[in-house]
Amino acid sequence: MQLIQGTILGAALLATILAIILAIVITDYTVKPLSQLTESILHYDTHNLKQFQPSNRLDEIGQLDRAFGIMTYQLNRQIEELEQEREKISSVLSQMMDGIIIVDANGVIEMINPAAQRIFGVVTENVLGKSMIEVVRNHKIFETWERCKATREQQITSFETPQRLYLQAAVAPLEPAMPNSSLIVLQDLTNYRRLEIIRRDFVSNVSHELRTPLASLKALSETLMEGALEDPPAARRFLLRMEYEIDNLTQMVQELLELSRIESGRVPLKREPVNPYDLIATPVERMALQAERSQIELVNQVPENLPAVYADKSRIAQVVINLIHNAIKFTPQGGTITISASEETRRVVFSVSDTGSGIEPQDLARIFERFYKVDRARSGGGTGLGLSIAKHMIESHGGKIWATSKVGVGSTFHFSIPKA
């Protein structure tokens, strides 16, 4: 009996021990890998692909482990692809010339690209999360955005910033990708507008400049027909006036054609290395007689040993003749016009200096504009195109032209030409 009892007890003990060992083994074999897997999931790091080592067990836990491994791999690949896409978009946005702003339903800035930051003079860190109105400080954009929100359609406006930029803003809803958010695209149209204004001014200037001599011709011919023809001395005077107006018109048309040819690049330059003294000597000789008649001394002070410049001799001669012609026109008898030149690192700077009336600072800034004349009465038969042609000509040589002046003392026109 005791033996039986002992055997049972021993067997029970053994069974318990076996059960415990089995439990430990099973726990080790099943639960531990599961908790390791749980750990891996909990500490899943998208930036560390290699952290997860799938097991090579063949049972269900092994399968689960491998499935998780595959899922991790796919997830990482997708995340990488998304990051690449995001980088692509962000480099496109940062390289764009147009300003881009994204605002949420309340007008709070969610994104702003470098071009928009430049336009409004702000930096990303200071504006993200701020209201758009604080940043753009323009009620027109704000109203356009509100209209876009109400209509859910693209709205466009244009305005000028305090920095005198002329901008066009297009505001569009960003649905469905970002519901309630709006995209604001800002285009800088300053240059287009400037060109448009120049073109408009040009057309109105040309019409005006042509109308004046034409009206005068009409009046003169009418007076002749109404009887002045019968009075030969008066008729002669009228005819001389008519000839003067016709010369003026002819000169203007020629200059306009010249200007348009230069501007459209249709004036081929025959550039070659030229000695600066030779470049100036020809126009100075040609203007000598005219200066003498006006009792003005014309002095060529250009040194003979300057390095050669790369220039079209006849075109530069035209510029110099124009500058001397102007100088004679605005210099009283007994005055002097001096032409000089000096060498700089890459260029030679020429100067035509007079002891004439001088130019007021506000005019000085504008004399190179087409048709700009300081004093219409005093500028005589000028068209106001001469300096603008000179400017184009010098610039097409890769040089610069500018003027300095003091009222009552005189003016100096400088232009530079690159060395050969």
Max CA pair span of the chain? 171
> Shortest gap between Cβ of 376 and ligand ADP (angstroms)?
8
Instruction: Output the six-digit token pair for 203.
Output: 């057309």
Nearer to ligand ADP, 109 or 359 (CB): 359
Instruction: Output the six-digit token pair for 110.
Output: 């969610």
Binding residue for ligand ADP, selected from 315, 356, 392, 394, defined by CB under 6 A: 356
> Shortest gap between Cβ of 357 and ligand ADP (angstroms)?
5
From the list 72-80, 158-166, 287-295, 350-358, the region that binds ligand ADP by CB under 6 A is 350-358
Instruction: Output the six-digit token pair for 417.
Output: 């030409």
From the list 131-139, 195-203, 343-351, 378-386, the region that binds ligand ADP by CB under 6 A is 378-386
| 372 is a site residue for ligand ADP (CB under 6 A) | yes
Instruction: Output the six-digit token pair for 103.
Output: 């605002």
| 166 is a site residue for ligand ADP (CB under 6 A) | no
The dihedral of CA 100, 105, 109, 110: what is its sign?
negative
> Shortest gap between Cβ of 335 and ligand ADP (angstroms)?
10
Nearer to ligand ADP, 113 or 388 (CB): 388
| 280 is a site residue for ligand ADP (CB under 6 A) | no
Nearer to ligand ADP, 135 or 385 (CB): 385
List the one residue out of 178, 54, 190, 46 whose CA is nearest residue 118.
190
> Shortest gap between Cβ of 162 and ligand ADP (angstroms)?
32
| 213 is a site residue for ligand ADP (CB under 6 A) | no
- Exposure pattern of 44-72 as b/e (b: 16+ CB <10 Å)? eeeeeeeebebbeeeeebeebbeebbeeb
Nearer to ligand ADP, 356 or 399 (CB): 356
Contact 252, 209 (CB under 8 A): yes
> Shortest gap between Cβ of 147 and ligand ADP (angstroms)?
47
| Amino acid in position 128 | L
| 387 is a site residue for ligand ADP (CB under 6 A) | yes
Contact 302, 336 (CB under 8 A): no
- Exposure pattern of 219-252 as b/e (b: 16+ CB <10 Å)? ebeeebeeebeeeeeeeeebeeebeebeebbeeb
Binding residue for ligand ADP, selected from 132, 354, 393, 414, defined by CB under 6 A: 354
> Shortest gap between Cβ of 251 and ligand ADP (angstroms)?
9
CA 287 from chain center: how many Å?
Answer: 42
From the list 85-93, 136-144, 175-183, 352-360, the region that binds ligand ADP by CB under 6 A is 352-360
CA 210 from chain center: how many Å?
Answer: 34
Binding site for ligand ADP (CB under 6 A): 326-327, 330, 354, 356-357, 359, 367, 372-375, 379, 382-388, 411
